[in-house]
Every structure is written in structure tokens, then in C-alpha cells.
């Protein structure tokens, strides 16, 4: 087994670093319902880490714990080697963790460009007064932010819809815009909640390519939840499998695929 | 113009023209490309710097004189520079269609034995790698966009900017060699090799010399008064000869600015932002724009629609005359000026055409309605006739002599000849050197005196002195009485009606002509909806008596128009039917590029053709159809055969009143 600080090189030539985020014995309850039961796993620098499981397994809850939206009742989250105290989501975002949502959460009336610009919020320091008068720092920052955003627009090939209001876009493109906004924050960890839900095969292929390219070009660590097993197995370096709030498998796609508990969870067995 | 002057004061190659441009207006913008949401610009001096660095880098890679270097990418300044860099080192650029499949690329790359390729991105790199095994001579590949390519084996793969950086580093070592090779370029060295599209057989490489390109560019720039502050929009495939002439030939000759769009999908908004002064588009593009405008007008309020219609009618009446500088009465002029202020101006701005001084269309026949729409707005849209083998230009329409049905007068220094069969031949300084490695084809196309056969039939219009194209020579036949049978000429006239999607004319060797017609389901369906005509299928709509009435009126209008032409008046349609199915590539009735396969249609529907000639009123037929998934079925239909009124040819002057 690898140590937390070890790094290795994957078959396709990417370098995966040491552990950047670690979940230790996380338990999350909503009243009497236990959504996550004593789960531990880690995410390594530069890897694509998938969380899979049947409906209601607790995947989204797990992602929400990582993004700081939920604070677990038990367990600890270590980020870059330090214990992370309970935080508000915006504080987590400032630490370099960005996410997309299962049900797209964009500003429908705003243009694609403006939506993506909101992802730069944490990179602007100008105050309200400066913003209002568009002087000095505000202007410089806006120009710098726009440059970053334009690179992302180019990267995700959405130049055509730059000035289109998001409400007019088809579903697949909205997903891409949401990814763009998350990327605009220049995150070190990117959380994707079902990035391919509801897409057709072609859109899924495009999205897979973008996820791989993001990981490859920017070295962004990616944690994603996905239902489509084919996609997960192709994309990810390591997979966590959850069922009924418990972790039932963890390892490379091949290991997970041959894990009897995982097969049972997906194909179904009688529960006692 | 002094024809005997050898050129052009030592300006015998594109690199030489570049040197002159840098010297005389180095600080003027040469290239623009929209990237990252902004128009990035390069002056002639900056472009020359980029070109020199790449050329040095190519020397560093070992590119030898006479090597072929493929260019596969969309219109970007990097590739235009690459062409000139390649020429500078004495090699030959071969631009290719970037949407070609790997196999098609393989054919072209192996045909010219390309040793190097300069390509756009991962997609193109992958394609070339896929066919790498079939290419014996291939060595290095250079790409512009590094995205996704970091993990590739880079022993034979190089990033464009790295090649330039290496060139820069090795400047001292290679500059003398570069200058030596540049100095060797003369009027006879090969400027570019362009592959024909290959609709008839495998693509052939057309070798064009510096003389071909530079003389053609010079002559036509002077013809249209192009100058260095003109702006051209480069959005058509780089492998097409037109783009090479506009964006390299004429751009380097005059120093005009070449603007490249951000991506293929943003062409229309980029066009609007640039507002080119010199513009080329095939008729289909103009048609698409017009349709968009019309659909948006339908959605506008009643007042706006009224205003639009009123002023467009006025524009149709006097616009072309004003554009041609013909006298128009003062009241009409004033009204047109008002229209310009409120309607035409904003409309042209939306289309991105407000600054056009010279616009051209070519490639296929353009509908007179469509043509007049743009001309009436005050857009100087003209037609030209050309081909790769001629370095584009054979004929051009001069300002003030523009008509929808001709393609203009011979371009400067072009001689035209029409032989007995009606085929057009030309001879000009633009005539290609040869088909690469294909002396047989060269000999059968170009004779010893330099006359080139176009394969098109046409004639010189007596009244105007303009050339008119009729059809491909191989499709032109004779009617029983010996008069000319030119099916495409008549079919095009029919297809200009939005209701008619396709038409097939028969009559070769017969005493009169008959036609099959396909209705356009969108247009006719729309009409049916507005008129409360219910229909369940294409077949039902196609057989509806009111649809037949409409089509009949179109056919008769076409007959009247055909009759005005003494040479072709025999081609009037005596009887026609509206087909019960759409002609389809899946059934082999059309090519994949939607050209009708006349022979196959004639065989497949031979019963219908016979019925049209034997005078029966209706016929029941059964046709096999292939569905998209490959299953076969058949449809049965009873078709009405209709007689159309024809204009008696011997007294057509009376009838035309």
C-alpha cells in the first residue's frame, strides 16, 4: 500500500501525489436517519476519485460534507494535512474547493459570461465603493478575471454562447457552463455531482473528455459522483462505493468491479 | 496595364511581397483573429517576424527545398503564416480540408508524399497518427493547440511555438540559408498545391506557380480596386483555392487585412463585428441569412412588418438602379435614403454586410430573387466564375453590369473560347502548371497552347457580352430537332422557387421535355398550414390538387422565362408530375452531396417517364424505398400528370408581351 505522502505515476503518464483530503470515520445524521455511517477514505493530489452507489446510498451527502454544506456529527475532515474545523460553505470555497450541482444551480437570467464571472468572486478584493466607481483595483481585477474566464470559455468550447442568457440553453450546455463556473474559481479540488445525469451519449462523451482535460491540463483534483458505471470506470483512478450510508468498496475500477459486495449492491440481494 | 512587364518589380513570390509590405506599411494590421473574446491583431511587421521564426524552425527540423508540407486546420493566422514560412524555405504548402476523414487525408498525404504536416489540434493529430502507417515518407508533425497532447510521444511531434522558439534560437545558424532559399524563388516556383474536391474520382493535386497566384491576384485586385485598408473575412476552407487567392494572393498583393473567426460556430457574430469590405460567400450562405431575416421579421410586430415590406418593395424597385449608378427620380432617391436610415442600414448591420464594397458569390447558380434582395439593399454583390485550375478567376462581373443570370466578362488577361459543343475554354496567366504526378489528366485538360477545358457549357450573351453558364458539358444533350437540351439550366430556374426542392428534366433525344418535381416539405407544409389544408404525409401533400396548381404556375413561369432564350427555348416543359417521394441518397437517387443522379432516376421511374410522353392523365406506380435503418419497403401512388402551357418558340416575341 501507498503511504499518505507517496506519489506514483499512472499508466497514462499522470503523476498522482500524496493525500490532499482525508475523511476519517464520518457519520452524518438527519434526526433519526443515518445518511452516512462511519466512512473513511482519502483523495490524492491530481487524481480523479469517483463516489458511486445505488440511489439513496449517501453519495450527495458525502459530497456535501466535503464541500462544507453539511457538518458531520462524528468524524474529522483533514485538508492538506490539517484538521478542518466546521466551516460555512463559502469558507470551504475560499480554501480552493469548487463544485457543481446535481440540479443545475445557475443564474438563469444572466449570460453565460456573467455566470462564469461569478466564479471569480473569491479572486476579487475590490470593495463596494471601488466596484461602483470602476476605478483602480476594481478595473484591474475585472480585466484579470475576464482573462481567466475567457481561457476557460475557450477550453470548454463555449465561445458561441458567451453572451447567451443561461435560461435559453439546452441542458447539456448548462452543465458545461456550471463546470466552467466551478473552474473559474481555479479550485484545487473540484467536486462534480452527477456531471452526466440526463445527458445523451454524445454529451457524455464530450463531458468525459472535458473532465479528463481539466484534470490533465490544470492538474485539478476531481471528486465526482456518477451513475453511469461505464463512464466511472473509464474516467476514475480510484472509486469509493457506498450503499445504505456505508462504504462497501474502495479501490481501482478493476478492484471495485470484482468486489462481491459491490456486485450484490448493484444487482441486488435479499436483505436480512 | 502593361501585359508584357514580367511582373511586378521583383515581386515574384509571396515572401517577396511580404518583405515589401513590411517595408512600405509594416505597422498596418495584417491579421486579426478573435481569441479569448477579443480581436487579437498582428501588423505586417509582426506577422513577418512570426513567419521568419517558423521558417527558421522548419530549417531546423530539416525541411528541404521541394518538400511538401501539409496544412490541416481551420482559418487561423498561424496557418496563413505557415504557408508563407513553407514557401520561404523553398518547400510547397498543401492545405487540406480539416473535416476530411482520416482515409481521405491518407490519400492526399501519400499522393504528394508529404513529409511534414502543420495541424490544428489533437483531433487532427489523431487523424494523421491513425493513417501514419500508410505514409512512407512522413516525418514530423507540428501542432498549434497543445491541449490534450501533453502525453503524446513527442519524438516526431512538435508544438508550433516551440518550433518557432527553436528557430529563434538558431537564427544565426540558419538565417543565411533562409535568405539564400528565399532569393531563389522566382515566378515559376510552385506557390501552392491545392487538391480538387474530387467529386469526379480521386482528388487531384493542382500545382499553381507564383506567376499564377500573383498575376491573378494583381489583375483582379486592380479590377475591383482593392486596397490595403480593405478587410476580408477568412472563413471558407483553407484548402479551397478561393481562400488562398483572397487571404494570401490578394491580401499580400494589396496589403489588406485578413480576419479569422473565433470558431466555426461563431462565424456570423464575428462577421458582424468585423464588417468586412470585401466578402465572398456561396449562394447557400446568402440564402441562409435571408431566411433568418425573414423568419425574424415574421415574429415582429404588425407595424414593423408593414414598414419592412413597404421599404423592401421600394428597394426592389430602385435599389439595383441606384447601386448601378443609373438615373432615378429624386423622390424615389429620397425615399431610398429614408429607407437606408431606418431599414436597410440596420438590416445590413445585422447581417454584417454594412461596409461591403465588393462582394462575390459563385459555385452554383444564385436565385434572381435572392440576388436582387442583397443588391437592392445597396450591397455590391456580384458573380464570378472560376475554378482551381484557373487560380479562381475566369470571368467577373464589373461594377454596374451585374445580372443574376450571367457570370460576367473575362477577367483581365483571360481569353475565352467556346467550341462547337458549347464547352468553355480559357487561357490566362492563372492557368495551372499541371496536375501533380498525373500527366494524362494534365494533357486531357490543358492543351499545348495553354487552353484549359472547363467541362462547363455556356455561351456569350449577345446583348451584354457576358458569359452565361448552362450546364456541365456531359449533361448537355440535343432534342430530336437538334436544339440544345440543358437540363440543369431549367432545373435551377425551377429550384429558385422555395416550393420546389428538386427537379429533374428529361428530353435528351426526344421531341420535347418533361419534368419530375419534388416539393419542399417545409415550404409547402407551411403554406398548407396557413391555408388550413390538412395532410397526413408527404405523398398526400404532393398529390394535393392545389399544390399541383401552384407548381403548374411555377412551371409555366419557367417556360416563359426559358422561351426568352432563343438557344434554349426547346427546353420548355410540356408535361410534368410531382413525385410521390423525395429523391433520397439512401435510395441512390442522389449523391451524398445532394446532386441528382439523372440516369438512376430515369431508370427507376421509367414507367413515369413513359407515361409523361404517352399522354396519359394519371398513372399508378409502386416504388421501393429504403428506410434510414436499411429496411426496405414500398409505396404505391396514383399520380396526376399535368400539361403545362408552353410558349411557341417561333413567335416568342409576340407571346412574351
Task: Please report whether residue A12 resides in a domain.
Answer: yes
**Percent of chain B scored above 70 by pLDDT?**
95
Q: Are residues A152 and A173 in the same domain?
A: yes
For chains A and B, count residue pairs whose Cβ atoms are closer than 8 Å. 35
Q: What is the pLDDT of residue B514?
A: 92
Q: Are residues A18 and A54 in the same domain?
A: yes
Distance of alpha carbon B124 from alpha carbon A220, whole angstroms: 26
Nearest CB to B147; choose among A146, A150, A213: A213
Residue A147: list chain B partners with CB under 8 A: 36
Q: Are residues A17 and A68 in the same domain?
A: yes
Distance of alpha carbon B114 from alpha carbon B283, whole angstroms: 34
Q: Measured between CB atoms, does B40 come within 8 Å of chain A? A: no
SS3 sequence of B451-503 = CEEEEEEEEECCCCCCEEEEEEHHHCEECCCCCEECHHHHHHHHHCCCCEEEE
Structurally, chain A folds into a number of domains equal to 2
Q: What is the pLDDT of residue B5?
A: 42
Higher pLDDT, B129 or A54: B129
pLDDT in tens, B186-236: 999 999 999 987 655 678 899 999 999 999 999 999 999 999 999 999 999
Q: Residue B634 has what DSSP assignment? A: E
In Å, how far is B498's CA from the nearest CA of chain A? 30
Q: Does the beta-carbon distance from A153 to B37 stay under 8 Å?
A: yes
In Å, how far is A151's CA from the nearest CA of chain B? 6
User: Tell me, what CATH number does A29's domain have?
Assistant: 3.40.50.300
Q: What's the average model confidence in pLDDT over A26-39?
A: 90
Task: Please report whether residue A272 resides in a domain.
Answer: no
Domains and CATH numbers, chain B: 14-274 (3.40.50.12780), 278-472 (3.40.50.12780), 477-655 (3.30.300.30)
Domain boundary (A177, A203, A228) is at A177
Confidence of residue B505 (pLDDT cuts 50, 70, 90): very high
Q: Does the beta-carbon distance from A155 to B262 stay under 8 Å?
A: no
Task: Please report whether residue A102 resides in a domain.
Answer: no
In Å, how far is A235's CA from the nearest CA of chain B? 15
Q: Measured between CB atoms, does B153 come within 8 Å of chain A? A: no
Task: Please report whether residue A127 resides in a domain.
Answer: yes
Q: Are residues A223 and A243 in the same domain?
A: yes
User: What residues does A52 pair with on adjacent strands?
Assistant: A241
Distance of alpha carbon B134 from alpha carbon B128, whole angstroms: 10
Chain A residue nearest residue B38, CA to CA: A150
Mean pLDDT of chain A: 87
Q: Are residues A134 and A57 in the same domain?
A: no
Please classify residue A39 by burial: count the beta carbons closer than 10 Å to its beta carbon, then call 0-12 exposed, 13-18 middle and 19+ buried.
buried
In Å, how far is A184's CA from the nearest CA of chain B? 14
Q: Are residues A129 and A171 in the same domain?
A: yes
Domain boundary (A151, A177, A203) is at A177
Domain that holds residue A114: 110-177
Q: Are residues A91 and A196 in the same domain?
A: yes
Q: What pTM, to 2 d.p., does this model score?
A: 0.81
Q: Are residues A114 and A241 in the same domain?
A: no
Q: Are residues A91 and A12 in the same domain?
A: yes
Which DSSP string do the residues of A147-164 spell out, in sequence order? Answer: HHHHHHHHHTT-GGGTTS
Q: What is the pLDDT of residue B199?
A: 57
Residue B147: list chain A partners with CB under 8 A: 155, 213, 217
Nearest CB to B148; choose among A14, A146, A216: A216
Q: What is the pLDDT of residue A2?
A: 67
Q: What is the pLDDT of residue B653?
A: 39
Distance of alpha carbon B417 from alpha carbon B317, whole angstroms: 36
Q: Are residues A51 and A171 in the same domain?
A: no
Residue B263: list chain A partners with CB under 8 A: 157, 159-160
Task: Please report whether residue A246 resides in a domain.
Answer: yes
pLDDT in tens, B26-82: 999 999 999 988 999 999 999 999 999 999 999 999 999 999 999 999 999 999 999
Q: Does the beta-carbon distance from B36 to A12 stay under 8 Å?
A: no
Chain A residue nearest residue B267, CA to CA: A160
The number of CA neighbours under 13 Å toward the Cβ of B596 is: 23
pLDDT in tens, B395-436: 999 988 888 888 999 999 999 999 888 899 999 999 999 999
**Percent of chain A scored above 70 by pLDDT?**
97
Q: Are residues A173 and A202 in the same domain?
A: no
Q: What's the average model confidence in pLDDT over B628-634?
A: 77
pLDDT in tens, A188-235: 999 999 888 888 888 888 899 999 989 988 889 999 998 888 888 888
Q: What is the pLDDT of residue B57?
A: 95
Amino acid at each position: 500500500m501507498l503511504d499518505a505522502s507517496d506519489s506514483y505515476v499512472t499508466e497514462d503518464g499522470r503523476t498522482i501525489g500524496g493525500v490532499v483530503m482525508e475523511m476519517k470515520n464520518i457519520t452524518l445524521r438527519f434526526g433519526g436517519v443515518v445518511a452516512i455511517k462511519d466512512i473513511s477514505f482519502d483523495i490524492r493530489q491530481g487524481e480523479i476519485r469517483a463516489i458511486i452507489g445505488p440511489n439513496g446510498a449517501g453519495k450527495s451527502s458525502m459530497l456535501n460534507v466535503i464541500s462544507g454544506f453539511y457538518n458531520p456529527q462524528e468524524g474529522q475532515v483533514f485538508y492538506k494535512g490539517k484538521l478542518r474545523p466546521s466551516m460555512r460553505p463559502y469558507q470551504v470555497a475560499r480554501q480552493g474547493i469548487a463544485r457543481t450541482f446535481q440540479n443545475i444551480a445557475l443564474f438563469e437570467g444572466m449570460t453565460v459570461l456573467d455566470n462564469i464571472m461569478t466564479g471569480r468572486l473569491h479572486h476579487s478584493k475590490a470593495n463596494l465603493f471601488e466596484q461602483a466607481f470602476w476605478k483602480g483595483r476594481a478595473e484591474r481585477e475585472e480585466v484579470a478575471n475576464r482573462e481567466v474566464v475567457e481561457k476557460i470559455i475557450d477550453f470548454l468550447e463555449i465561445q458561441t454562447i458567451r453572451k447567451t442568457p443561461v435560461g435559453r440553453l439546452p441542458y447539456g450546455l448548462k452543465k458545461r457552463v456550471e463546470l466552467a463556473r466551478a473552474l473559474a474559481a481555479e479550485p484545487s479540488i473540484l467536486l462534480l455531482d452527477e456531471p452526466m445525469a440526463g445527458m445523451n451519449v454524445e454529451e457524455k462523451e464530450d463531458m468525459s473528455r472535458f473532465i479528463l482535460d481539466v484534470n490533465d491540463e490544470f492538474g485539478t483534483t476531481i471528486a465526482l459522483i456518477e451513475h453511469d458505471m461505464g463512464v466511472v470506470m473509464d474516467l476514475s483512478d480510484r472509486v469509493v462505493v457506498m450503499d445504505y450510508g456505508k462504504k462497501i468498496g474502495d479501490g481501482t475500477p478493476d478492484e471495485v468491479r470484482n468486489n462481491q459486495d459491490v456486485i450484490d449492491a448493484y444487482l441486488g440481494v435479499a436483505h436480512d | 496595364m502593361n501585359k508584357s512587364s514580367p511582373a511586378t518589380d521583383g515581386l515574384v513570390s509571396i515572401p517577396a511581397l511580404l518583405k515589401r509590405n513590411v517595408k512600405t506599411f509594416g505597422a498596418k494590421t495584417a491579421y486579426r483573429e478573435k481569441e479569448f473574446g477579443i480581436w487579437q491583431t498582428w501588423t505586417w511587421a509582426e506577422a513577418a517576424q512570426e513567419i521568419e521564426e517558423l521558417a527558421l524552425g522548419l530549417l531546423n527540423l530539416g525541411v528541404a527545398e521541394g518538400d511538401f508540407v501539409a496544412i490541416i486546420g481551420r482559418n487561423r493566422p498561424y496557418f496563413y503564416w505557415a504557408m508563407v514560412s513553407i514557401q520561404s524555405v523553398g518547400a510547397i504548402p498543401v492545405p487540406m480540408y480539416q473535416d476530411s476523414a482520416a482515409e481521405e487525408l491518407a490519400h492526399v498525404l501519400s499522393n504528394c508524399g508529404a513529409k511534414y504536416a502543420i495541424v490544428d489540434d489533437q483531433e487532427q493529430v489523431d487523424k494523421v497518427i491513425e493513417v501514419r502507417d500508410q505514409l512512407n515518407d512522413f516525418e514530423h508533425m507540428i501542432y498549434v493547440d497543445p491541449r490534450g497532447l501533453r502525453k503524446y510521444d513527442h519524438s516526431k511531434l512538435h508544438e508550433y511555438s516551440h518550433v518557432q522558439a527553436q528557430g529563434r534560437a538558431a537564427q544565426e545558424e540558419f538565417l543565411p540559408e533562409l535568405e539564400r532559399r528565399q532569393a531563389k524563388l522566382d515566378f515559376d516556383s510552385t506557390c501552392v498545391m491545392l487538391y480538387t474536391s474530387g467529386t469526379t474520382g480521386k482528388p487531384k493535386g493542382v500545382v499553381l506557380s507564383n506567376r499564377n497566384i500573383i498575376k491573378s491576384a494583381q489583375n483582379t485586385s486592380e479590377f475591383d480596386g482593392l486596397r490595403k485598408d480593405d478587410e476580408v473575412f477568412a472563413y471558407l476552407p483553407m484548402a479551397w483555392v478561393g481562400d488562398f487567392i483572397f487571404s494570401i494572393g490578394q491580401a499580400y498583393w494589396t496589403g489588406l487585412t485578413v480576419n479569422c473567426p473565433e470558431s466555426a460556430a461563431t462565424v456570423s457574430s464575428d462577421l458582424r463585428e468585423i464588417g468586412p469590405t470585401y466578402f465572398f460567400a456561396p449562394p447557400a450562405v446568402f440564402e441562409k441569412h435571408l431566411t433568418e431575416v425573414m423568419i425574424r421579421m415574421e415574429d415582429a410586430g404588425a407595424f414593423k412588418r408593414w414598414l419592412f415590406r413597404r421599404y423592401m418593395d421600394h428597394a426592389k424597385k430602385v435599389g439595383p438602379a441606384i447601386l448601378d449608378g443609373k438615373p432615378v427620380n429624386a423622390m424615389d432617391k429620397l425615399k431610398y435614403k429614408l429607407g437606408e436610415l431606418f431599414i436597410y442600414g440596420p438590416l445590413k448591420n445585422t447581417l454584417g454586410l454594412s461596409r461591403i464594397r465588393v462582394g462575390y458569390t459563385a459555385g452554383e447558380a444564385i436565385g434572381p430573387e435572392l440576388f436582387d434582395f442583397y443588391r437592392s439593399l445597396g450591397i455590391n454583390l456580384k458573380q464570378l466564375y472560376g475554378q482551381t485550375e484557373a487560380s479562381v478567376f475566369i470571368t467577373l462581373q464589373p461594377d454596374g453590369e451585374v445580372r443574376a443570370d450571367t457570370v460576367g466578362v473575362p477577367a483581365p488577361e483571360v481569353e475565352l473560347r467556346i467550341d462547337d459543343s458549347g464547352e468553355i475554354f480559357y487561357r490566362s496567366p492563372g492557368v495551372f502548371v499541371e496536375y501533380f504526378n498525373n500527366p494524362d489528366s494534365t494533357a486531357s485538360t490543358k492543351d499545348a497552347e495553354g487552353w484549359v477545358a472547363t467541362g462547363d457549357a455556356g455561351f456569350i450573351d449577345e446583348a451584354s457580352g457576358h458569359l452565361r453558364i448552362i450546364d456541365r458539358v456531359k449533361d448537355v444533350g440535343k432534342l430530336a430537332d437538334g436544339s440544345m437540351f440543358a437540363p440543369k439550366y431549367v432545373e435551377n430556374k425551377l429550384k429558385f422557387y422555395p416550393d420546389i426542392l428538386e427537379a429533374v428534366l428529361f428530353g435528351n433525344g426526344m421531341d420535347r421535355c418533361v419534368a419530375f418535381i419534388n416539393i419542399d416539405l417545409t415550404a409547402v407544409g407551411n403554406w398548407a398550414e396557413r391555408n388550413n389544408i390538412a395532410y397526413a404525409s408527404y405523398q398526400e401533400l404532393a398529390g394535393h390538387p392545389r399544390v399541383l396548381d401552384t407548381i403548374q404556375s411555377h412551371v409555366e413561369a419557367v417556360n416563359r422565362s426559358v422561351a426568352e432564350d432563343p438557344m434554349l427555348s426547346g427546353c420548355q416543359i410540356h408535361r410534368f408530375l410531382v413525385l410521390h417521394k423525395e429523391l433520397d441518397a439512401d435510395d441512390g437517387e442522389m449523391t451524398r452531396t445532394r446532386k441528382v443522379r439523372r440516369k438512376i432516376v430515369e431508370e427507376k421511374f421509367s414507367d413515369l417517364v413513359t407515361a409523361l410522353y404517352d399522354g396519359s392523365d394519371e398513372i399508378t406506380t409502386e416504388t421501393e424505398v429504403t428506410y434510414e435503418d436499411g429496411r426496405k419497403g414500398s409505396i404505391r401512388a396514383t399520380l396526376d400528370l399535368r400539361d403545362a402551357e408552353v410558349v411557341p418558340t417561333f413567335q416568342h416575341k409576340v407571346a412574351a408581351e
